[in-house]
């Protein structure tokens, strides 16, 4: 028998100790769940079909959006950062660049030296050309990849990181770790 109590959103059965469910109760609940999932899937498909990035339609590969990498101009237009700074060679960051997006666009592997962690700064760093090396006189703790307590850390190309300080060390709190394609078999 259907329960007297129902869930507030979809009216699914919530049996009490003195009520006894029947198979038909589950069939009815499953039909409600199936209908709601179909509605959600339809809305998601419509949103994916109409997705744009920078005013351009985003190509779709299967059920995945093929979102292009943003340009420095597009990123700078976002209100997330004070400013975008491009680095093309070895650079020591200063605390006045805290809150900036640092774009590493060096033709070679550049070294980005962090200031003293006592400066209480935060940076978002991204490389679109080559890996780069983070360097500090303190310690770096990468909570994303699990590398802990090092003074230099090589960051692969296309990895975006957010690094901040706790006053004593530098901590990579988040970011995107790229998935590298497997090496070809010979």
Q: Which residue has better confidence, 92 or 51?
A: 92
At residue 27, the pLDDT reads: 92
- Higher pLDDT among residues 64 and 111, named by residue: 111
10-23 pLDDT per residue, tens: 899 998 889 889 99
Question: Quick one: what percent of the chain has pLDDT higher than 70?
Answer: 73
Does position 132 have pLDDT exceeding 80, yes or no?
Answer: yes
pLDDT value of residue 181: 45
The pLDDT mean for the chain works out to 79
Choose between 107 and 6: higher pLDDT: 6
> Where does 72-176 sit in CATH, by number?
2.60.120
Going by C-beta distance under 8 Å and a sequence separation of 6 or more, which residues neighbour residue 170?
Answer: 114, 117, 134, 136, 138, 139, 140, 141, 163, 164
In this structure, are residues 102 and 123 in contact, taking their beta carbons and an 8 Å threshold?
yes
Q: What is the mean pLDDT of residues 94-120?
A: 88
Beta bridge partners of 53: 56
Res 47: pLDDT: 57
pLDDT at residue 174 in the model:
77
Residue 134 has pLDDT above 90, yes or no: yes
Q: Where are the domains of the chain?
A: 1-67, 72-176
pLDDT level of residue 76 (50, 70, 90 thresholds): low
- State how far the Cα of 152 lies from the Cα of 75, in Å rounded to an integer: 27
Comparing 133 with 56, the larger pLDDT belongs to 133
pLDDT digits (tens, 9 = 90+) for 144-186: 787 888 899 998 888 888 898 888 889 888 776 554 444 455 5
Label the pairing between strands 56-57 and 52-53: antiparallel
**Sequential DSSP letters for the chain:** ---SEE-TTT--EE--TT----HHHHHHHHHHHHHHHHHHHHHHHHHHHT-EETTEEPPEETTEE-PPPPPHHHHHHSTT-S-EEEE-S-EE--GGGTT-EEEE--SS-EEEE---GGG--EEEEEESSS-EEEEEEEEEEETTTTEEEEEEEEE-TT-EEEEEE-SSSEEEEEEE---PPPPPP-
């Amino acid at each position: 028998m259907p329960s007297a109590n129902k869930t507030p959103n979809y009216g699914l059965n919530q049996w009490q100790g003195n009520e006894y469910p029947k198979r038909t109760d589950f069939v009815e609940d499953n039909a409600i769940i199936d209908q709601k999932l179909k509605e959600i899937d339809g809305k998601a498909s419509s949103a994916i079909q109409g997705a744009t990035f920078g005013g351009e339609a985003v190509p779709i590969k299967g059920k995945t959006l093929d979102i292009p990498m943003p340009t420095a101009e597009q990123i700078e237009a976002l209100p997330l950062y004070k400013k975008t700074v491009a680095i093309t060679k070895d650079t020591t960051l200063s605390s006045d660049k805290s809150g900036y997006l640092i774009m590493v666009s060096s033709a070679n592997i550049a070294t980005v030296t962090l200031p003293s962690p006592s400066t209480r700064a935060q940076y978002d760093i991204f490389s679109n050309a080559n890996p780069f090396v983070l360097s500090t006189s303190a310690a770096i703790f990468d909570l994303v990849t699990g590398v802990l307590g090092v003074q230099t850390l090589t960051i692969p190309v296309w990895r975006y990181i957010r690094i901040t300080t706790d006053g004593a060390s530098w901590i990579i709190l988040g970011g995107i770790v790229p998935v590298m394609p497997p090496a070809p078999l010979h």
